[in-house]
């Protein structure tokens, strides 16, 4: 899906596909350096993290296993409910593992602070977080994040995995939506 496919739904492009790809190269290099010689269990948080997970692991030279969790705190709206539900748990035992959680966005931080505590309680050797986007001005809780793609303004964004009412996840860029989309 391209900007041209969006009619007048797109307000503006915040991060282009090229900016995202350049940043992914840098993050992968950093992750490879930090985990040299280790096996990593990369945990993608469905559904938003699908794009960044796929693009990041393909750049890594580190030996990885991939697993997925589905949690939801947003439903179909634009505000976090603060109540995190596990919709799908991991298949993998975390005891002694180096776990790298991969996320599309840290907004209020509620989802990841809950997830971090949950995964840490399962006996891993280490747990770190990689997120493509973070909204520093939206933080309700501080989350200790090792790898951040971009800090962005406190606006609702879509694309590169991020949805509004389940749409727009397939945009290869990150953008904001025109106001009429929300009132439709
Ligand atoms: O920092 P927070 O305010 O908690 O928000 C971040 C979380 O919200 C989104 O997930 P969502 O619950 O919308 O599910 P989805 O990934 O399926 O869209 C996003 O993918 C993060 O997991
Ligand atoms: O800005 C956002 N856009 C889409 N989904 C989200 N989930 C948390 N923040 C966002
Ligand atoms: Mg969502």
Which tens digits make up the pLDDT trace of 2-29?
Answer: 777 887 888 999 999 999 999 999 999 9
107 in catalytic set? yes
Structural domains of the chain sorted by starting position, each given as residue range(s) with its CATH number in brackets: 17-152 (3.40.50.2020)
Q: What is the pTM of this model?
A: 0.94
Mode of pairing for the β-strands spanning 85-88 and 98-106? unpaired
Each residue's pLDDT tens digit, 119-170: 999 999 999 999 999 999 999 999 999 999 999 999 999 999 999 999 999 9
Residue where the block lists tokens 């949805």: 163
Give the number of whichever ligand sits closest to the CA of residue 108: 1
Q: Is the CB of 152 under 6 A from ligand 2?
A: no
Catalytic residue among 107, 137, 151, 163: 107
3-state helix, strand, coil in the chain (%, to 5): 25, 35, 40
Give the number of whichever ligand sits closest to the CA of residue 47: 1
Structure tokens at 184: 């439709």
Q: In this structure, which residue's CA is closest to atom 10 in ligand 2?
A: 156
Question: What band does 100 get if pLDDT is binned at 50, 70 and 90?
Answer: very high
**Is the ipTM above a cut-off of 0.95?**
yes
């Amino acid at each position: 899906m391209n900007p041209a496919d969006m009619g007048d739904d797109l307000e503006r492009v915040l991060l282009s596909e090229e900016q995202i790809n350049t940043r992914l190269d840098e993050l992968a290099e950093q992750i490879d350096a930090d985990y040299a010689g280790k096996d990593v269990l990369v945990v993608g948080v469905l559904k938003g993290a699908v794009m960044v997970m796929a693009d990041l692991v393909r750049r890594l030279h580190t030996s990885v296993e991939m697993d997925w969790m589905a949690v939801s705190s947003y439903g179909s709206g634009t505000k976090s409910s603060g109540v995190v539900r596990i919709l799908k748990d991991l298949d993998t035992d975390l005891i002694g593992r180096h776990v790298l959680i991969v996320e599309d966005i840290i907004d209020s931080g509620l989802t990841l602070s809950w997830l971090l505590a949950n995964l840490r309680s399962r006996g891993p050797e280490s747990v770190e977080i990689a997120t493509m986007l973070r909204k520093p001005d939206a933080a309700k809780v501080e989350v200790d994040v090792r790898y951040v793609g971009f800090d962005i303004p406190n606006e609702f964004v879509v694309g590169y995995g991020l949805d509004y009412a389940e749409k727009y996840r397939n945009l290869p860029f990150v953008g904001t939506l025109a106001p009429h989309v929300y009132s439709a």
